[in-house]
Structures are given as structure tokens and as C-alpha cells.
């Protein structure tokens, strides 16, 4: 028999969630078959089998979280097929005082009593209805709201129960039950948010949100950030983009966004200022010879940063096509781990939300990130006259352990020159 383990599917992954089992106990499995979907800290990835055989046991149920390296299933020749799920090895859960007392009691003849599963799950009878399928978040919300998933009609893919289904069922339950009279209580000493009431909802952190919180907290605590802001006149850039898109559409190519032009300009500026394309590594700096740009993409439950490799060697249209394709797959949770790692510098753009300027947190181990704001019409004085110009503000966040202020200023000066004279971007 061969154990299938929870794999490490990204460089920051420490544990994973079984999002769905593609194969069931007794199914024939061939090398390369997808046996399960694994929710990592960055996306939902497909787990492929490395051997041929029969799936004999599933050790971790859908929705459960286990550390990397934990056995999650058993592959064999079919002789050991078991229809009963077995609990996966996991960290011990919190127990009540009674449970602790029972475990510490003397054992008969020195032989420990059989260990019971943390939660008793009765074996399903042949005539019993199948266990409803639900997303991990839906299960967590159901536990919070006291909703029985067996009473919920799923509206997700394949009838899968999603969070909205659980919340709708909870509202129906509340509407069907009359409000119980509440005894008078003394006024509280201090106003505190009540848990478990309709005014407060506890939402479990997604895998992406957990890792984002951890890494960016470490970044702010360990990397001394400094910030430099430039107001760039992008009037010619906006006109250049419009002309370029007309020609690209006529040739059947992809449209180019302002952000695509910024990405190309940043890559060009980094090539001219390699001192910013570095990483701090305690007693040394890592000078990156290639320019791989991470472009932040906002998701409903967190943030991912797809990487455009060798951005300085690609045309603007190539960058546009790649950025759009990876952004779509990022929102679908279909990016591969290697497509979200290895960046040497990052770009975050909130201009589409009308944000004029902001400061971004450095994505470690990089030494800098550029925050891009919206393009706004502003009145400026040119040759003694008031003129309307389109202005875009960008803010560089840099790690002062690796980069000095003058280096950051030189980079922004180079970037400003490129964006104000856009023909140089494609030259």
C-alpha cells in the first residue's frame, strides 16, 4: 500500500484543505489522475496521483485541514478497500475537564483503552440519505448559525451547498421561530460586541487571508519601509494608449491598459536601476539578474500576486495578454504555484477604484513595491498659463535595509521620464 500525503503546493504553504475528492474509495487510479482538489494558501490546486492502484481508504474528509506531509488517503491493490473513513492524524483538539480526567485515570493492566474519535460519526445505513456536500466555508458558517446541512438545498456546482445557502436557511429558521422572552438583565459594565448575535458574524479566515496577514505583518515588523511619491503627467501616455489600441484592435491584438504600460515602464526602469531589483538576506543582498514583476490581483477572500517573468524582454501587448489571462485564472483559483512565486518587484494598482495615491506593503523578500493611483485631471501652470493635464501619482515603498533613498529617487525619476515620453517605453 502507498500513502497519499498532503503535498507542499506553494513556497508558503504549511497546511491544506481537502476541497473535494475527485476519486472515491474503490475507484481505479492511474498515474497522473486527479484524485483531489487541495485548497492552499493561494489557490485551489489539483492533486495528481504518482502511482497506479485502487483508492482503498480516504483518511481526510472534504473540508478538513491538515498539515503538509499528513497521509490523506491510501492507494493499494484493492484488497484493503474500506468503506469506513478513518480519522487523519492531526493536532489534538481542546478537550473538556471530564475528557482530561478520563485520559489521566489509571489503566487496567497497563494497557491503554482504545482511543475514541474526537467526534463520533454514526455509520451511514444503506438506506440513509447521502451526506450533503458543502464547501468548507459553508460548513463553518453552518456550525456558527446552528444550521443542519441535511435541511439545506445546495445551489452551487453539482448541488454543492455554499455559504449563501446556509445563510438563507438560517434566516428561514429565525423567521419560523417566535422570539423567546428575555429576562431582564442588569446593564453591562462596558459595551462589548456580542458573539453569536445577529449583529456580529464570525467569518473564518480563508487560507489566502491567513497567509496574507502573516506575511505582510512580518514585512511591516521586519522591513523598515520608506516611501517616495511622484506626480507624473500622463497626458501623452493616455493619448498614446488610445492610438496604440486602435492599431492593435485593427491587427486583432489585445487591448492595452494603462497598467500594462506601467508594468513595461517599471521593468525598463529596473533594468536601468538594478540596485532596486534586490532582496535583503541578513548578511548579504541578492542581486537579481532577471526582472520578474508581481502584479497584485484582488480576490473576494484575499490577495494573490501573479508573476510576469522577464517583463523587460516582453512587448507591451505580450504583457497585456499575459496579465489578463493570469488575472482571470487567479480569480478562478487556477494559477499554478510557480506562477505566483519568484517575483523580484511588485506593482499594486488601485486606480480603477478612484484612489489617487496610497502606500503598499512590501511583498517579502522583495525590496520594493510600486503603488499606482488613478489618473486625474488637474490644472497646472505651463509657460505662465493654466492648462488641464492628466496626472497619475505613484508611491514607491522600499526596504531601507537594502535600498537607500537616493536609489529609490533615481528609479522614480527614470520611471517618470518613461511615462511622460511613452514612445521610450516601446523603444
Neighbours of 411 (CB within 10 A): 26
Is pLDDT above 60 for 291?
yes
Helix locations, 253-357, DSSP H: 258-272, 316-331
Provide the pLDDT for residue 145: 77
Neighbours of 135 (CB within 10 A): 22
List the single range of 39-53, 245-259, 274-288, 387-401 with lowest mean pLDDT: 39-53
Cβ-Cβ contacts under 8 Å for 256 (sequence gap 6 or more) = 241, 244, 245, 248, 316, 317, 320
**CA–CA distance, 214 with 36 (Å, rounded to integer):** 27
The average pLDDT across 55-74 equals 89
Looking at per-residue pLDDT, the higher value among 134 and 378 belongs to 378
List the single range of 184-198, 272-286, 311-325 with lowest mean pLDDT: 184-198
**CA–CA distance, 207 with 62 (Å, rounded to integer):** 15
Question: For 258-282, how does the pLDDT look when each residue is reduced to its tens digit (9 = 90+)?
Answer: 999 999 999 999 999 999 999 999 8
Provide the pLDDT for residue 196: 52
Closest Cα partner for 305 from 15, 18, 43, 37?
43
3-state SS class at 338: helix
What string of DSSP letters covers 149-201? Answer: GGGPPP-SGGG-B-HHHHHHHHHHHHHHSPPPPPPP-PPPSS--PPTTSTT--
Provide the pLDDT for residue 102: 41
Looking at per-residue pLDDT, the higher value among 136 and 305 belongs to 305
Is pLDDT above 90 for 193?
no
Question: For 348-389, how does the pLDDT look when each residue is reduced to its tens digit (9 = 90+)?
Answer: 999 999 999 999 999 999 999 999 999 999 999 988 999 999
Provide the pLDDT for residue 96: 40
Looking at per-residue pLDDT, the higher value among 14 and 190 belongs to 14
**CA–CA distance, 322 with 329 (Å, rounded to integer):** 11
Provide the pLDDT for residue 110: 42
Provide the pLDDT confidence category of residue 117 given band limits of 50, 70 and 90: very low
The average pLDDT across 188-197 equals 53
**CA–CA distance, 36 with 49 (Å, rounded to integer):** 9
CB-CB contact of 68 with 88 (8 Å): no
Neighbours of 389 (CB within 10 A): 15
The average pLDDT across 113-127 equals 46
Helix locations, 340-404, DSSP H: none
* CA distance between the termini of the chain: 60
Range of 101-110, 154-163, 288-297 with top mean pLDDT: 288-297
Q: What is the largest CA-CA distance in the chain?
A: 99
Is pLDDT above 70 for 235?
yes
**CA–CA distance, 343 with 265 (Å, rounded to integer):** 16
The average pLDDT across 10-23 equals 82
Provide the pLDDT for residue 15: 84
CB-CB contact of 7 with 38 (8 Å): yes
Closest Cα partner for 365 from 8, 12, 43?
12
For CATH 3.30.559.10, list the domain ranges present in the chain: 208-425
Provide the pLDDT for residue 1: 75
List the single range of 16-30, 123-137, 162-176, 262-276 with lowest mean pLDDT: 123-137
Is pLDDT above 90 for 257?
yes
Neighbours of 124 (CB within 10 A): 12
Cβ-Cβ contacts under 8 Å for 69 (sequence gap 6 or more) = 5, 6
**CA–CA distance, 358 with 225 (Å, rounded to integer):** 14
CATH class for domain 2-76? mainly beta
For CATH 2.40.50.100, list the domain ranges present in the chain: 2-76
Catalytic residue list contains 292: no
Cβ-Cβ contacts under 8 Å for 25 (sequence gap 6 or more) = 55, 56, 57, 58, 81, 82, 83
Provide the pLDDT for residue 81: 65
**CA–CA distance, 394 with 76 (Å, rounded to integer):** 57
> The domain at 208-425 falls in which architecture?
2-Layer Sandwich (3.30)
Mean pLDDT score across all residues of the chain: 82
3-state SS class at 291: coil
**CA–CA distance, 119 with 123 (Å, rounded to integer):** 12
The average pLDDT across 15-24 equals 88
Cβ-Cβ contacts under 8 Å for 94 (sequence gap 6 or more) = none
Amino acid at each position: 500500500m502507498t500513502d497519499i500525503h498532503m503535498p507542499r503546493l506553494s513556497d508558503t504553504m504549511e497546511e491544506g484543505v481537502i476541497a473535494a475528492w475527485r476519486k472515491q474509495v474503490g475507484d481505479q487510479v492511474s498515474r497522473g489522475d486527479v484524485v483531489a482538489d487541495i485548497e492552499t494558501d493561494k489557490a485551489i490546486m489539483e492533486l495528481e496521483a504518482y502511482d497506479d492502484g485502487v483508492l482503498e481508504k480516504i483518511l481526510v474528509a472534504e473540508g478538513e485541514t491538515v498539515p503538509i506531509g499528513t497521509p490523506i488517503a491510501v492507494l493499494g491493490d484493492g484488497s484493503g478497500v474500506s468503506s469506513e473513513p478513518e480519522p487523519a492524524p492531526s493536532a489534538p483538539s481542546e478537550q473538556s475537564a471530564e475528557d482530561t480526567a478520563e485520559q489521566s485515570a489509571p489503566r487496567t493492566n497497563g494497557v491503554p483503552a482504545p482511543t475514541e474519535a474526537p467526534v463520533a460519526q454514526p455509520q451511514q445505513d444503506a438506506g440513509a440519505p447521502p451526506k450533503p456536500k458543502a464547501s468548507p466555508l459553508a460548513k463553518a458558517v453552518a456550525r456558527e448559525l446552528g444550521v443542519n446541512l441535511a435541511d439545506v438545498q445546495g445551489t452551487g456546482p453539482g448541488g454543492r451547498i455554499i455559504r449563501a445557502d446556509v445563510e438563507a436557511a438560517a434566516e428561514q429558521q429565525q423567521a419560523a421561530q417566535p422570539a423567546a422572552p428575555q429576562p431582564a438583565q442588569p446593564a453591562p459594565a462596558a459595551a462589548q460586541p456580542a458573539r453569536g448575535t445577529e449583529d456580529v458574524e464570525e467569518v473564518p479566515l480563508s487560507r489566502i487571508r491567513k497567509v496574507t496577514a502573516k506575511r505582510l505583518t512580518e514585512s511591516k515588523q521586519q522591513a523598515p519601509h520608506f516611501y517616495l511619491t511622484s506626480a507624473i503627467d500622463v497626458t501623452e501616455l493616455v493619448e498614446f494608449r488610445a492610438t496604440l489600441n486602435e492599431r492593435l484592435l485593427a491587427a486583432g491584438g489585445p487591448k492595452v491598459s494603462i497598467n500594462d504600460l506601467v508594468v513595461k515602464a517599471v521593468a525598463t526602469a529596473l533594468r536601468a536601476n538594478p540596485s532596486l531589483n534586490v532582496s535583503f538576506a541578513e548578511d548579504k543582498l541578492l542581486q537579481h539578474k532577471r526582472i520578474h514583476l508581481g502584479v497584485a490581483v484582488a480576490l473576494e477572500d484575499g490577495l494573490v500576486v501573479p508573476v510576469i517573468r522577464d517583463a523587460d524582454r516582453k512587448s507591451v501587448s505580450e504583457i497585456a495578454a499575459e496579465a489578463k489571462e493570469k488575472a482571470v485564472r487567479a480569480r478562478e483559483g487556477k494559477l499554478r504555484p510557480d506562477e505566483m512565486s519568484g517575483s523580484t518587484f511588485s506593482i499594486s494598482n488601485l486606480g480603477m477604484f478612484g484612489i489617487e495615491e496610497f502606500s503598499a506593503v512590501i511583498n517579502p523578500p522583495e525590496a520594493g513595491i510600486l503603488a499606482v493611483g488613478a489618473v486625474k485631471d488637474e490644472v497646472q501652470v505651463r509657460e505662465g498659463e493654466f492648462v488641464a493635464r492628466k496626472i497619475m501619482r505613484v508611491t514607491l515603498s522600499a526596504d531601507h535595509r537594502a535600498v537607500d533613498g537616493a536609489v529609490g529617487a533615481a528609479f522614480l525619476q527614470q520611471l517618470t521620464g518613461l511615462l511622460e515620453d511613452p514612445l521610450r517605453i516601446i523603444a
